[in-house]
Amino acid sequence: MCICFQKKIAGRTLEHLSQIAKSPYHTDGTAPGTICSFDEWGIDGGVVMHIATKPSQQKTINTWAVSLQAEYPGRLFCCGSVHPDAEDALEEIASIRKNGLHGIKLHPDYQNFMVEDPKMYPIYEAIAASGLPVVFHTGWDPLSPNCIHASAKGIRNVAKQFPTLKIVAAHMGGMRRYEDSEEELAGTENVWFDTAMSFLYCNPEQFLRLCQKHGTDRILFGSDCPWSRSCDEKDFLLRSGLKDGELEDILWKNAAELFSLPI
């Protein structure tokens, strides 16, 4: 999993987000730059996430995601995004599916919603009906460090209320809230975790325990590139103590099945 931006906004967007996160970035944020970094790091390709931070952005972002995927076939597989406050969010979910994107990204912090807010229920219903997976940022975020918009318990409750909704709880179910993820969310049937930023914030023993409790058939390799280097995330995974078959599932097989990737 990675993030790309259009060339005209990549530089200033990275600078702005870097100041918020107080974190360096490791690519130039563009698709060509990301591909070059992947080649350097030994990464074949990735699922690209996009976030509509304003209602007016969702169509533009999703149109660009479709073109990006066509420009880099077999290397970049794109998810779309909808904004909870957009009047046509439900119609846009259908359009995302129709245009061949592979999932939908929601970021509760940047889109200003709590994951259990009833206003989100029609959106969850529509995504579930589309068959697409939905990816949530979960746990702590530097944008709103004192408010957890998507807690492990909140994701669990949404998963139970919408049992056909395929949920990816990024950052192992809750960035820097791994104890909550282990206690409240691990083992939930229609939830997948991704490994993004684990090498920085999750100790190896807890990471392995989380993988085993949740099930390695529902763990996805994620890097949060450009905020981390995919090779560092991969090295952490390879040192985790997981078996070869489990590693293969996490590195690509699980994502290929969940996101219906043509690989």
Structure confidence at residue 46 (pLDDT): 95
Task: Provide the residue type at 82 as one letter.
Answer: V
| Block residue for tokens 């957890």 | 148
Phi, psi for residue 111 in degrees, rounded to 5: -105, 0
- Block means of pLDDT (10 residues each) for the chain, 263 residues, are 91 93 92 96 95 96 96 96 97 98 98 97 98 98 96 98 98 98 97 97 96 98 94 96 97 98 88
Structure confidence at residue 258 (pLDDT): 98
Structure confidence at residue 59 (pLDDT): 96
Structure confidence at residue 239 (pLDDT): 96
Phi, psi for residue 225 in degrees, rounded to 5: -55, 130
Structure confidence at residue 1 (pLDDT): 85
Whole-prediction pTM: 0.96
Structure confidence at residue 174 (pLDDT): 97
Structure confidence at residue 155 (pLDDT): 98
Structure confidence at residue 21 (pLDDT): 87
Structure confidence at residue 40 (pLDDT): 96
